[in-house]
Amino acid sequence: MTIVGGVFLAASLILMLLDIKTPVDPAWAAVVICGFPIMYWAMAGLILERQISSPLLITIAMIASAMIGELFAAGEVAFIMAVGAILEDKTVQRAKKGIKRLISLAPGRGRRIAGGIEEMVPIEQVKPGDVLRVLPGEVIPVDGEILCGNTSVDQSVITGESLPVDKAAGDGVFCGTMNCFGAVEIKAVKVGEDSSLQKLIRLVREAEDKKAPMQRVADRWAKWLVPASLAIALITYLVTRDIVRAVTILVVFCPCALVLATPTSIMAAIGQAAKNGVIVKSGEALERMGRVDCVAFDKTGTLTHGKLVVSDVISFRPGFSGDALLLLAASAEVFSEHPLGKAIVARAKEQGLALQPAEDFRMIPGKGVCVTINGRSTLCGTAAYLCENGVSLHNDAPAALEKVRRQGKAAILVSQGEECAGLIALSDMLRDSSKSTVAQLQALHTGTVLLTGDHRQTAEYLAGQAGITDIYAELLPAEKAQRIQELQDAGRRVCMIGDGVNDAPALKTAYVGVAMGGMGSDIAVEAADIALTGDDIDRVPYLKRLSNAAVRLIKLNIFLSLAINVAAIVLSMFALLNPVTGALVHNGGSVLVVLNAALLYERKFID
């Protein structure tokens, strides 16, 4: 409809230039199509919200222009304002599907055991103290405590830890986490709305509600623009007794260029960001990114690849090479579904090692595996597991274990017969670009912080490699959001960068949330204001530079639009402009704003 109004307005201009008279001026169509909605917004704001807004000034100018027969001027200001509103709407559209996906993670039923009988019941019927059985591959339906059984639990949805956590009797488990291996029986402790997952859902909802949209620049200034325009127009009329001058002042006072200053700059920046693998969901997010002075990183999947790889192969047996140890461990783990075992097998295959046949495979959840290779018992697992099976640890084993643990790595001991043959360490590797990203942000006078649910040793080791000194480890989702809120309460403007479901509350709480879109969860992407489509963390400094430039351009455009308006007002007071030429002049300011935005789109912010 705005395009239709523009067509009729163009027809009116052509007829006016050719001095062709028609019974009805085509500009009336632009006034009706583009002007009536503006009049509605103006009256609604004035009557219902008792606010003076930019649509009120446009309405006054339209009515005054129409009253003296200057319909083109009335249609022009209405059309420009309608275009500005459309551009602004395009920059603030955001999807809000993350909450629904988060809710879908909560299991609807659980295996309750009562009187020795197992039955599937709706989760609403489960009460604290009930005993539930959770089989391998099932989602844990409540927060609880393991009564019997051993397993490994993928807690990434809650804590963000990259490794499954071994669990035994007495250990706590979270609702929404995945039971990877052994069957366990748990006692329900927190159910329904009290569970960790439901608290996570509430955190995301509350953080979303706290984020009110920024008020439009033109509306913020309308409180003095409207009285000022009326006062100047009235004084000019009283002094000159020329109604045309007064109406011209009202026309040129219309903040068309001011309305376009922000959305055009933002749309240009959003378009350029999209070309470089960054999806910015709203103009508000881009404006906020330009004011960010602290970037908080999640660890797993953000600073790191989120994928376990073999980092160290340490042989304790003289003459037993690292490749021989890796081959032995991979042959033992070939049937394992544990992420550590899979990573060991993957490394052996990468190196072209021919795996040996293994027999009598047994896996003890939370401890390790046992197989027979070449007639000899081979174990891969924890130190306690090897000791339980009569294996004596090598003298070098304790020191080697302590070293890899200080580096935040997972360790698997490998034995053959009754002898501990060596140790294999695995870790989540730092992204190649993480260190340079942190350095670039610091060069932009932007602080960096690490927020992670992982162990402190792991966090400190990887943060040290990346160049981050501010570290908060072993955080639950609520604690991540709380840390960000504390930083913001202290006056910082925090950008949170994460990839997991557990990062959603922090992404929502932060001044700006950026999600790793390529490998990140859908929920994290929906919760964030900005998504990196290719998981290129080095796009964060680019985004900061682009946002800084966009904010500077917005300020420049606002200055230019006000300067043009002031000049046009002075010219109108001296009758050097009439409503039509005044409309064209201040329309030239709108064109200048758009051209500036186009130049921003073409600028390069990546070396």
Spatial CB neighbours of 340, under 8 Å, sequence gap ≥ 6? 163, 308, 333, 410, 412, 426
- Residue 468 and residue 452: Cα distance in Å, rounded? 13
Please choose, from the candidates 330, 381, 386, 382, the residue with its C-alpha nearest in 3D space to the C-alpha of residue 358. Answer: 330
- Helices and strands: H and E segment counts in the chain: 22, 22
Phi, psi of 315 (to 5 degrees): -95, 135
> Beta partners for 498?
515
Q: What burial class does residue 430 get, using C-beta atoms within 10 Å of its C-beta: 0-12 exposed, 13-18 middle, 19+ buried?
A: middle
- Residue 118 and residue 224: Cα distance in Å, rounded? 72
SS3 385: helix
Q: What burial class does residue 489 get, using C-beta atoms within 10 Å of its C-beta: 0-12 exposed, 13-18 middle, 19+ buried?
A: exposed
Please choose, from the candidates 318, 312, 331, 322, the residue with its C-alpha nearest in 3D space to the C-alpha of residue 379. Answer: 331
> Beta partners for 109?
122
With beta carbons less than 8 A apart as the criterion, state whether 257 and 594 touch: no
* H/E element, 555: helix 539-573
In the β-sheet with 109-114, what is the strand arrangement from edge to edge? 117-122, 109-114, 131-134, 184-190, 143-148, 172-173
Q: Which amino acid is at 459?
A: A
C-alpha radius of gyration, the chain, whole number: 33
List the catalytic residues: 298
DSSP state of 378: E
Please choose, from the candidates 447, 551, 211, the residue with its C-alpha nearest in 3D space to the C-alpha of residue 543. Answer: 551
With beta carbons less than 8 A apart as the criterion, state whether 303 and 295 touch: no
With beta carbons less than 8 A apart as the criterion, state whether 515 and 500 touch: no
Enumerate the H helices of 173-316 as residue ranges: 196-210, 217-240, 243-253, 256-275, 283-289
Across 316-457, the runs of DSSP E, i.e. the strands, are 358-364, 368-373, 376-381, 410-416, 419-430, 447-451
* H/E element, 279: strand 278-280
Reading the block at residue 599, the tokens are 């130049």
